[in-house]
A and B are shown apart, each in its own frame.
Chain A
Amino acid sequence: MKRVHQNLPKISTMVKRMADNEKKVNIPIGPIHPALKEPVQIEVSVSGERVTDVNITLGHVHRGIEWVGTRRNPIQTLYIAERVCGICNICHPMAFCIAIENAANIAVPERAEYLRTIFAELERIHSHLLFLGVAAHEMGFDSILHYTWLTREKVLDVVEMLTGNRITKGIMMIGGVRRDISDSQAEKIRAAMDYYEKVYGKMCNIFLDDKTIKMRTRDIGFLSKKDALRFCAVGPTARASGVKKDIRQDYPYAAYPDIDIEALTPEFLLKETRGDVYDRVVMRAIEIKQSIDIVRECLKEMPSGPIVSEPVLQKLLFNLKQVQGEGVALVEAPRGELIHYIKMEKADAPSSWKIRAPTYANLHVLRTMLIGSELADVPVIVASIDPCMSCANRAIIADKGALLYQEKLRELCIGKTRRLRGATK
């Protein structure tokens, strides 16, 4: 108990409460905090080292995107959709396009659906590698961070070759995609997939056999299957608790209906599904393998034909201006189910646009995971849902709480890793 207090920042509320001989202490984390890559504020109440309550406030990244989108025409809005999030900037424009196509009854050429699928899976590989690095970083295992981010550069190179940019790709278009994949490019994608097959093997070795990772992530941050269902958790977070929800399997879009995708759970590699942080980490590693297979299959089965239904943008805009209707799209983003809703009423701009990013749904379960855990485990548990605040926060909260710049929490987290490691030597 004493150790923790020495490590905690001296904040007025805490000092006051300690003076009152109260055992409960509130610790605000964020919005600017080294353990969080993005602004979000998590207020944790602790008793001793145990977390007793959690209050998450958001809104620091709210940029009013949906509102801005109702002031511009759909093609301009497509580029805002791309800037909802710098990590999932294939799925946001893709969901936006599918929603508009649904509202306007636009049929997408088959080849474009395959191209979309390939881009989406390349994005999943990059996002999951990024996650594995961040998760390792939070437990103080920086060599893995550097290894995963080094391997991630390869997929960024491929994306750059295909689209011209590493991060924002500008590849989606309403009714299709903007650039085709040539045979020589397909060859390079295949080579990259062979490379990732090897990386996956190495990842499995690291994440399945390394003692430190297991010690640090096993049996913390539990999410039961019941809670995952009740709180509508999505994506790898839900699957790691044994809920086989995967939009690619349940409600296939693009080229997914042609590929028999099965929603995987950690049982694919492990004997059981526990729903702890370790399961969520391993889940991502498993999905890298799944993505490699999907990309290969798409390259093999890709039909020929046009890549966009209406290549003349002025004509497309004119057509969209006549549309009266609404569309809704579900897409499996790297972090889970993403939904876009759009309403068009014969005007330049859509009259309503709603985005629900996966983190938005998973924030409910984050609270369940944190309560009862140790303070030193908070950063790694938060990282385990792979939160993406810029997605979740287009639309959300403010705080008046104290602002802290503390490396202390991450230090605590790393300290525990070192302690555990020392204990087994």
Chain B
Amino acid sequence: MGIDALKRSLWVFHVNAGSCNGCDIEIVAALTPRYDVERFGIKLVGTPRHADVLLVTGPVTRQMKDKLLRVYEQTPEPKLVVVVGNCGSTCGVFYESYNIEGPVDKLIPVDVYVHGCPPRPEAIIEGIAKAWAKLEKTKVKK
């Protein structure tokens, strides 16, 4: 995967599905000057209808389950899902809680897992870059 995969800019929508904020602030940190992903055309957008990639954080609480599904359905094809953090990947320390419906891949297909509690911004950027390379090869499903 090289930089030549970056043919167009990638828009990202962030869903917090019950995260502790740790991953979320690292996502914002990736957007701010030290990491500055916007120079690659990666941008957080305010609605899933504009997004290419869904960034999902959190172990998916009962209340967020149907909302996550709805966000997924509203995202146009082709779309990719990147799970950021251990909670979304495996439910992490919350694995036995009664209010957890996750992990994310139980509910929606996941393309890239970024591990860490929370992952460093570099790891999040790498995850998105991997998704990007995958997206460039994907065609719209009919």
Q: Do chains A and B touch in the complex (CB under 8 A)?
A: yes
In angstroms, Cα B20 to Cα A167, docked, is 11
B20 engages A86 (CB within 8 Å): yes
A15 within 8 A of B: no
In angstroms, Cα B118 to Cα A287, docked, is 27
| Interface residue count on the B side (C-beta < 8 Å) | 42
In angstroms, Cα B49 to Cα A32, docked, is 13
Contact pick for B34, options A59, A85, A145, A150, CB 8 Å: A150
Contact pick for A167, options B48, B98, B99, B118, CB 8 Å: B118
Chain B interfacial positions (CB closer than 8 Å to A):
15-26, 28-29, 32-34, 46-49, 58-59, 61-64, 67, 70-71, 74, 92-94, 96-100, 117-118, 120
B19 engages A390 (CB within 8 Å): yes
B67 — which chain A residues lie within 8 A by C-beta?
31-32, 39, 60, 403
In angstroms, Cα B101 to Cα A64, docked, is 12
B24 engages A64 (CB within 8 Å): no
Interface size class of chain A, counting residues whose CB lies under 8 Å from the partner chain: 35 or more
6 nearest CB pairs, A to B: A86-B22, A34-B46, A407-B46, A149-B32, A86-B21, A64-B97
Instruction: Kindly report which residue of chain B lies nearest to residue A84, judged by CB atoms.
Output: B20
B72 CB to closest chain A CB (Å) equals 12
A208 within 8 A of B: no
Contacts known (A79-B93, A403-B67, A405-B48); A63 close to B59, Cβ less than 8 A: yes
In angstroms, Cα B46 to Cα A406, docked, is 7
A403 engages B70 (CB within 8 Å): yes
A62 — which chain B residues lie within 8 A by C-beta?
18, 61-63, 99
Instruction: Kindly report which residue of chain A lies nearest to residue B59, judged by CB atoms.
Output: A63
B46 — which chain A residues lie within 8 A by C-beta?
34, 405-407, 410
A199 CB to closest chain B CB (Å) equals 14
B138 CB to closest chain A CB (Å) equals 24
Instruction: Kindly report which residue of chain B lies nearest to residue A395, judged by CB atoms.
Output: B99
Chain A interfacial positions (CB closer than 8 Å to B):
31-32, 34, 37-39, 59-65, 67-68, 71, 79-80, 83-87, 89, 130, 133, 145-146, 149-150, 153, 156, 166-168, 388, 390, 398-399, 403, 405-407, 410
A86 engages B18 (CB within 8 Å): no
A372 CB to closest chain B CB (Å) equals 27
B26 engages A145 (CB within 8 Å): no
In angstroms, Cα B43 to Cα A407, docked, is 15
B20 — which chain A residues lie within 8 A by C-beta?
61, 83-86, 89, 390
Instruction: Kindly report which residue of chain B lies nearest to residue A154, judged by CB atoms.
Output: B34
A85 engages B100 (CB within 8 Å): no
Contacts known (A34-B46, A67-B98); A60 close to B61, Cβ less than 8 A: yes
Instruction: Kindly report which residue of chain B lies nearest to residue A38, judged by CB atoms.
Output: B16
The listed residue with most B CB atoms (<10 A of its CB), out of A60, A86, A390, A410, is: A86
In angstroms, Cα B85 to Cα A158, docked, is 23
User: Please, could you name 25 A-B residue pairs with CB atoms under 8 Å apart, sorted by A?
Assistant: A31-B63, A31-B67, A32-B15, A37-B21, A37-B24, A38-B19, A39-B64, A39-B67, A59-B63, A60-B61, A62-B18, A62-B62, A71-B96, A83-B93, A85-B21, A86-B20, A86-B22, A87-B22, A87-B25, A149-B29, A150-B32, A153-B34, A167-B118, A406-B47, A410-B46
Contacts known (A31-B64, A150-B32, A405-B46); A68 close to B96, Cβ less than 8 A: yes
Instruction: Kindly report which residue of chain A lies nearest to residue B36, judged by CB atoms.
Output: A146
Contacts known (A60-B64, A85-B21, A407-B46); A65 close to B94, Cβ less than 8 A: yes
A132 CB to closest chain B CB (Å) equals 13
Contact pick for A38, options B24, B32, B118, CB 8 Å: B24
A86 engages B24 (CB within 8 Å): yes
B71 — which chain A residues lie within 8 A by C-beta?
32, 405
B18 engages A61 (CB within 8 Å): yes
B99 — which chain A residues lie within 8 A by C-beta?
62-64
A39 — which chain B residues lie within 8 A by C-beta?
16-18, 63-64, 67
In angstroms, Cα B74 to Cα A130, docked, is 31
